[in-house]
């Protein structure tokens, strides 16, 4: 033991080399310190993996890997982007190049994808609401026209109990986009299927059958007539209902609740009101998806990057007023959607979100 005490054991650090047999696994004793280096506002520790010889540091495989700009400037730029400010406006305020801001937004979206893939999986959710949000991309088009389905829509899956945005897809109102939304949402769910509730759009029922249906061939009965054709039947555990709004002109006449698949579905659970309220939050809080705006995205990839950052920040870093509760001492406890569900133990900061790295604790 030296004058500075025992050498630290890096039990929570893992090797980022995918070729290493200890990739993504901590606590194996293969990581040792390799000094530090100074950046503008702090020191960064370096490591060596004794198994494969890979040299890395605290910022490897995070948003800040090989980023030289001051972190506070980047965080401020991304907070502006979350609120829907344009890339050019952010560049003008911070006196950087628009291409630099665009690159930060792209890297942030990739980091958020990694966080969602690692943490947003196998949630035990009892109900999932799905809806589509009309957005403007490239040029302004009038909504509610014959060709509105050809425009860009934001398809969202939402867990109302925890106000958790499960995932989203950008695309036209077509069958293949509905199929993709169901597949993407299913990747985040556990084996127990929740109740799915959507609006009356016809594409959802076929998408659920494609994902959860089984091909059934019916035996011959021996009676006259043609035999029954093979068909796709829904899984016995699938529960799906629709909220259909009947309108006359622009006025709502009647709201009808339909059970499409499944049995014993409580009529009070057939609702998409909380997701529709979330759509209002999107529009009020984010200039890129507002209805009457000239701040819309000129390219769909810019909208995707911004919305991926926005939704992940919403889940992990933002207190939700609908999730607050009063403690015994009278104080109010605020919760983020991720904290409410139990994905995280506390509210994250944007810096913590951008510094997240996947980790697997060794059981040996």
Nearest to 71 by CA among 47, 46, 36, 107: 107
Q: 363 pLDDT band (50/70/90 cuts)?
A: very low
CA distance 305 to 108: 8
Nearest to 129 by CA among 28, 334, 269, 244: 269
- Determine, yes or no, domain membership for 338: no
With beta carbons less than 8 A apart as the criterion, state whether 155 and 179 touch.
Answer: no
Mean pLDDT of 171-190: 93
- Determine, yes or no, domain membership for 80: no
Determine the straight-line distance between the first and last CA of the chain, rounded to whole angstroms.
26
Number of domains in the chain: 1
Residue 35 burial (10 A CB sphere; 0-12, 13-18, 19+): exposed
248-257 residue pLDDT tens: 877 888 889 9
Q: 1 pLDDT band (50/70/90 cuts)?
A: very low
Q: What is the pLDDT of residue 228?
A: 76
Mean pLDDT of the chain: 86
- Determine, yes or no, domain membership for 212: yes
- Determine, yes or no, domain membership for 144: yes
Q: What share of the chain is helix, strand, coil (3-state, %, to 5)?
A: 30, 25, 40
Nearest to 62 by CA among 359, 310, 362: 359
Q: Output 5 or 123, whichever has higher pLDDT.
A: 123
Domain that holds residue 248: 125-220+227-285
Q: What is the pLDDT of residue 101?
A: 94
280-302 residue pLDDT tens: 999 988 888 888 777 888 889 99
- Determine, yes or no, domain membership for 347: no
Mean pLDDT of 212-231: 78
Report the side by side order of strands in the sheet with 127-135: 164-171, 152-159, 127-135, 195-199, 239-248, 251-261
- Determine, yes or no, domain membership for 337: no
- Determine, yes or no, domain membership for 73: no
Element (H, E) at 220: none
Share of the chain above pLDDT 90, in %: 43
Residue 6 pLDDT exceeds 60: no
The pTM of this model reads: 0.86
Query: Residue 107 has which token pair?
Result: 């890297």
Mean pLDDT of 172-188: 93
Q: What is the pLDDT of residue 220?
A: 75
Q: 103 pLDDT band (50/70/90 cuts)?
A: very high
């Amino acid at each position: 033991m030296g004058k500075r005490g025992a050498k630290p054991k890096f039990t929570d650090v893992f090797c980022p080399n995918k070729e290493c047999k200890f990739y993504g696994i901590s606590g194996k004793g293969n990581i040792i310190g390799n000094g530090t280096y100074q950046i503008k506002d702090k020191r960064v520790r370096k490591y060596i993996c004794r198994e494969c010889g890979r040299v890395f540091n605290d910022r490897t495989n995070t948003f800040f890997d090989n980023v030289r700009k001051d972190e506070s400037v980047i965080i401020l730029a991304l907070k502006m982007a979350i609120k829907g400010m344009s890339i050019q406006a952010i560049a003008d305020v911070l006196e950087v190049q628009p291409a630099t801001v665009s690159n930060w937004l792209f890297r942030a979206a990739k980091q958020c994808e990694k966080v969602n893939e690692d943490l947003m999986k196998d949630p035990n959710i009892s109900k999932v609401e799905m809806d589509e949000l009309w957005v403007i991309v490239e040029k302004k088009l009038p909504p509610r026209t014959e060709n509105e389905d050809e425009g860009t829509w934001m398809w969202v899956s939402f867990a109302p109990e925890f106000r958790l945005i499960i995932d989203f897809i950008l695309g036209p109102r077509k069958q293949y986009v509905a199929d993709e939304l169901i597949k993407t949402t299913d990747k985040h769910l556990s084996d127990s299927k929740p109740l799915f509730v959507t609006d009356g759009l016809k594409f959802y029922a076929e998408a659920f059958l494609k994902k959860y249906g089984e091909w059934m061939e019916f035996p011959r009965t021996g009676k006259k007539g043609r035999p029954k054709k093979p068909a796709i039947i829904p899984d016995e555990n699938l529960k799906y209902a629709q909220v259909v709004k009947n309108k006359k002109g622009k006025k709502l006449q009647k709201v009808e609740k339909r059970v499409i698949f499944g049995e014993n579905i409580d009529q009070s659970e057939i609702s998409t009101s909380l997701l529709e309220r979330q759509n209002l939050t999107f529009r009020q809080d984010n200039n890129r998806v507002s209805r009457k705006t000239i701040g819309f995205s000129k390219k769909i990839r810019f909208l995707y990057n911004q919305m991926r950052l926005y939704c992940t920040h919403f889940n992990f870093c933002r207190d939700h007023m609908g999730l607050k509760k009063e403690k015994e001492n009278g104080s109010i406890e605020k919760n983020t959607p991720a904290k409410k569900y139990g994905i995280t133990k506390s509210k994250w900061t944007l810096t913590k979100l951008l510094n997240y790295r996947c980790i697997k604790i060794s059981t040996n």
